[in-house]
Amino acid sequence: MARFAANLTFLFTELPMLERFGAARRAGFEGVEVLFPYDLAAPELASAAQAAGVEFVLMNTPPPNWAGGPRGFAAVPGGEERFRRDFDRALRFAQALRCRHIHVMAGRAEGEAARQTFVENLRWACARAPHASLLVEPINPGDMPGYFLADFDQAVEVIDEVGAPNLGLQFDAYHAHQITGDVLSCWDRHGARARHIQIAGAPGRHEPKAGEIDFAGFFRRVDALGYRGWVGAEYMPATTTEAGLRWLRDGSA
């Protein structure tokens, strides 16, 4: 069975960031994700993770300016210099945090020029950091209009075109549901490429429990495939984080 990581950007937000690591471990999580950790010093974050006994599993590019700002630059023609500068900063953070995966964000773009920009930037990043696990993630257009990578078939085609051993798929069950309407079939087609999974319920992007996604069936498929990676809990609690953690404690997801 996969291990669960708490996305600390979404969960335990009633606490300061450095206190969320311990709260996550006490709740039963063994790992953590932080989407954009750049507002704090990397040594402070690394110390908090180490003290709590959790692994730092995932972070995103780019830093920072997320609120109302661009959603990445990897597929944006003309943004190559900004992407490479941001990637190097993300890489320094990931190394300091001993972070397992870096999600490379494509940004808002469209067309063939955007695709070629994305492929070329990913090739550059994979060659620059051959020791790092880099991921791309399809994001549904309802949550992020205009985002370049909004289709799982497209994501796999890009991964194949880049052809780098350290590039893989980030499979978010919530986005898969929003994009395809059938998480299980989407997993059957593309799960073998997944190096990291994220979960949230639908509708609402709340706790992964009863709703439109068959999480029991999904995890049976995940186990059947032999997936041994992490599963990131990237959802917005319906009330408080603690009140909604029954799915983790009793395996009811």
Cβ–Cβ under 8 Å, residues 35 and 51? no
Tell me what percent of the chain is helix, strand and coil, each rounded to the nearest 5. 45, 15, 40
Q: Which of 33, 55, 137, 207 is catalytic?
A: 137
**Both tokens assigned to 243:** 């009140």
Cβ–Cβ under 8 Å, residues 136 and 122? yes
Active site residue 137: yes
Active site residue 157: no
User: Tokens 């090739």 correspond to what residue?
Assistant: 123
Cβ–Cβ under 8 Å, residues 113 and 77? yes
Q: Which of 33, 55, 207, 234 is catalytic?
A: 234
Nearest to 5 by CA among 41, 34, 32: 32
**Both tokens assigned to 21:** 């690591």
Residue 2 CA to residue 238 CA, distance in Å, equals: 24
Question: Any idea which residues carry the catalytic annotation?
Answer: 137, 234
